[in-house]
């Protein structure tokens, strides 16, 4: 099924019958993805007066509570409120949800004891392309990204220069398959978050970072239409469900 969308005065034909979901869900029944030193998420039925509200326990409905942290347990989209004194809401600052995105695959570089995504790699990947969003898939791209326990593993991260490059190139929405764009332990500097949101200058309130995505190996690098769907939480970060649509040339 095809749909024609007018985007920035350009007519784009997309295949809406084949959505490519690049989110990682919460699933406590399995080994849930995790980071930032906290326990896994929990989904459990509410109890009233000692009675479990669950159909299999005799109730007429299933009535579950969900305990989780978006930064640790699920694909999430965050705004600058993640690192500012005032907790700005991503739900209020992300006002548009359809973007032209470039999917790129990056093999991290080993630099000073860390694996990083550098500015030269992104320059080669994006060249002169103009995109609103970038979707970064890192190598190796294994299925265990969906269940990885990242705490105390010093994962790959984005260099500060790379974050500045993306900001100056006009990328508003950065999506990456890592727990953070910053080094796990960087003395609280959060260099790449600060650089991307430009906290030292005119803050980019409408720019977002989405972490913990997973781009299947069957998805080729290139241009896609991105639908960045978020849950309406008035918080610095919220669970999200980014979906890619193939552009038909």
* Domain spans in the chain, listed from the N-terminal domain onward: 2-26+70-246
Q: pTM for this structure?
A: 0.96
237-246 and 20-21 as β-strands: parallel, antiparallel, unpaired?
antiparallel
The pair of structure tokens assigned to 155 is 């994962």
Domain 2-26+70-246 in this protein, CATH class: alpha beta
Cα 43 from Cα 38, distance rounded (Å): 16
The pair of structure tokens assigned to 217 is 């190996």
Residues 151, 36 contacting (CB under 8 angstroms): yes
pLDDT tier at 249 (50, 70, 90 boundaries)?
confident
pLDDT tier at 97 (50, 70, 90 boundaries)?
very high
Q: Residue 168 is inside which H or E element, if any?
A: helix 160-168
Cα–Cα nearest to 216, from 243, 247, 184: 243
Cα 135 from Cα 210, distance rounded (Å): 9
User: Residue written as tokens 């309406």?
Assistant: 232
Write out pLDDT tens, residues 183-236. 999 999 999 999 999 999 999 999 999 999 999 999 999 999 999 999 999 999
If one counts every other C-beta atom within 10 angstroms of the C-beta of residue 198, the result is 17
């Amino acid at each position: 099924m095809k749909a024609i969308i007018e985007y920035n005065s350009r007519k784009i034909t997309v295949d809406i019958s084949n959505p490519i979901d690049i989110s990682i869900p919460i699933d406590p029944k399995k080994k849930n993805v995790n980071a930032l030193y906290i326990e896994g998420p929990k989904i459990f039925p509410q109890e009233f007066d000692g009675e479990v509200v669950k159909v299999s326990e005799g109730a007429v409905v299933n009535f579950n509570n969900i305990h989780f942290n978006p930064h640790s347990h699920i694909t999430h989209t965050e705004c600058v409120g993640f690192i500012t004194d005032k907790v700005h809401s991503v739900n209020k600052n992300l006002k548009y949800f359809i973007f032209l995105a470039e999917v790129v695959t990056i093999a991290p570089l080993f630099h000073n004891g860390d694996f990083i995504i550098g500015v030269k790699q992104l320059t080669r990947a994006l060249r002169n392309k103009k995109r609103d969003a970038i979707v970064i898939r890192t190598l190796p791209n294994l299925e265990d990204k969906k269940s990885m326990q990242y705490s105390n593993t010093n994962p790959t991260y984005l260099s500060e220069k790379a974050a500045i490059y993306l900001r100056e190139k006009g990328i508003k929405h950065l999506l990456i398959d890592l727990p953070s764009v910053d080094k796990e332990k960087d003395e609280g500097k959060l260099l790449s978050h600060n650089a991307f949101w430009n906290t030292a200058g005119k803050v980019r309130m409408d720019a977002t970072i989405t972490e913990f995505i997973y781009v299947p190996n069957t998805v080729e690098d290139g241009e896609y239409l991105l639908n960045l769907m978020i849950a309406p939480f008035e918080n610095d970060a919220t669970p999200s469900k980014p979906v890619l649509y193939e552009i038909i040339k």
